[in-house]
């Protein structure tokens, strides 16, 4: 029998004040896969990510991670199981250094108790050292070592995005959810981000699910794409098929979109 998908969303429904944000949405992500989530603004993409990681509670449906329904679990439990996410805006702790921001992510997977930390017990001290070391390893992985002591708020946008990515990676997740990782970046920074995401996928064996409007980046990175429009899934499948789907072209890509590889001969 084939192995179950690592992440599977089934018949998810979410509404706000009578407005339907998600209408029987389904999505799946296999272990080691890079998935894309695309669609017009307001299509429900970020709402779907917020449901997966636990920020929103849908009215109906199932979210299965590693074969178990995690719909009723709080955010922290889902993170502990291996779900982490980044945000469109960096959402960094402005008063902290880059290292301290990333250490927050490492702390999520630590095991020291609150009482132990408060009393500075040996176990808590060891955990603190381990978390700092994990944060430094993550900085090295994302080429941020030289910025470890810099105030996070003082960095340019491209580096702030990378710090937000490092903080999520420090959790050592199995699935990383990314909300527009390339938003606001220039062409060179987008290329750097794509290289970093591929590096994380290859070296940490991460599964990635990203929302992104830069279709060149999406088509270069993603194995499979899900398309939302007005809260409904209108297409899902391999990138090369989705980019040629008439419904996707009409709702989002537009008639002038040139599929990867150019026109068919």
Q: Is residue 39 within 8 Å of 215, Cβ to Cβ?
A: no
Q: Is 128 left (phi over 0), alpha (psi -120 to 50) or beta?
A: alpha
**CA–CA separation, 50 vs 101, rounded Å?**
21
Report whether CATH 3.30.1330.60 matches the domain 1-82+173-265.
no
Output the pLDDT for position 260: 67
Output the pLDDT for position 53: 93
Average pLDDT over residues 3-14: 90
Tell me which residue of 119, 118, 120, 142 sits closest to 129, measured CA to CA.
Answer: 120
Output the pLDDT for position 128: 76
* pLDDT at position 196 over 70: yes
Torsion angle of the four alpha carbons 237, 215, 45, 175, in this order, in degrees rounded to the nearest 10 = 70
Dump pLDDT digits (tens) for 149-181.
999 989 999 999 999 999 999 988 999 999 999
Dump pLDDT digits (tens) for 241-263.
999 999 999 999 998 887 765 54
Predicted confidence band at 265 (pLDDT cuts at 50, 70, 90)? very low
Tell me which residue of 17, 166, 19, 6 sits closest to 97, measured CA to CA.
Answer: 166
Structure tokens at 168: 């999520």
Dump pLDDT digits (tens) for 10-41.
999 999 988 999 999 999 999 999 999 999 99
**CA–CA separation, 113 vs 136, rounded Å?**
22
Output the pLDDT for position 122: 55
Output the pLDDT for position 188: 94
| Alpha helices in 82-212, H assignment, sequence order | 98-108, 114-119, 122-141, 157-169, 187-204
pTM greater than 0.85: yes
A 10 A CB-CB count for 186 gives 11
Q: Domain extents for the chain?
A: 1-82+173-265, 94-156
Output the pLDDT for position 261: 56
Report helix angle 157-169 to 98-108, nearest 10: 30
Residue 229 or residue 76, greater confidence: 229
Output the pLDDT for position 3: 54
Output the pLDDT for position 160: 93
Output the pLDDT for position 131: 82
Average pLDDT over residues 75-97: 87
Dump pLDDT digits (tens) for 113-155.
444 455 455 555 677 777 888 899 999 999 999 999 999 989 9
């Amino acid at each position: 029998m084939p192995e179950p998908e690592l992440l599977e969303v089934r018949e998810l429904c979410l509404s706000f004040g009578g407005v339907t944000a998600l209408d029987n949405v389904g999505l799946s992500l296999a272990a080691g896969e890079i998935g894309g989530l695309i669609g017009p603004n307001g299509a429900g993409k970020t709402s779907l990510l917020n449901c997966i990681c636990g920020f929103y509670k849908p009215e109906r449906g199932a979210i299965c991670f590693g074969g178990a329904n995690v719909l009723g679990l709080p955010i922290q439990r889902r993170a502990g199981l291996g779900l982490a996410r980044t945000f469109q805006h960096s959402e960094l702790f402005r008063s902290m250094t880059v290292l301290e921001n990333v250490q927050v992510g490492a702390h999520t997977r630590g095991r020291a108790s609150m009482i132990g930390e408060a009393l500075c017990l040996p176990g808590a001290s060891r955990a603190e050292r381990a978390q700092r070391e994990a944060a430094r390893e993550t900085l090295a992985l994302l080429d941020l070592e030289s910025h470890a002591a810099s105030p996070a708020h003082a960095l340019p946008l491209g580096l702030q995005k990378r710090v937000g990515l490092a903080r999520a990676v420090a959790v050592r997740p199995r699935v990383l959810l990314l909300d527009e990782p390339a938003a606001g970046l220039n062409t060179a920074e987008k290329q750097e981000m794509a290289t970093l995401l591929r590096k994380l996928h290859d070296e940490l064996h991460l599964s990635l699910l990203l929302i992104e409007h830069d279709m060149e980046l999406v088509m270069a990175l993603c194995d499979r794409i899900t398309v939302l429009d007005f809260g409904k899934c209108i297409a899902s499948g391999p990138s090369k098929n989705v980019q040629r789907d008439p419904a996707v072209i009409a709702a989002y890509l537009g008639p002038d979109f040139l599929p990867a590889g150019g026109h068919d001969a």
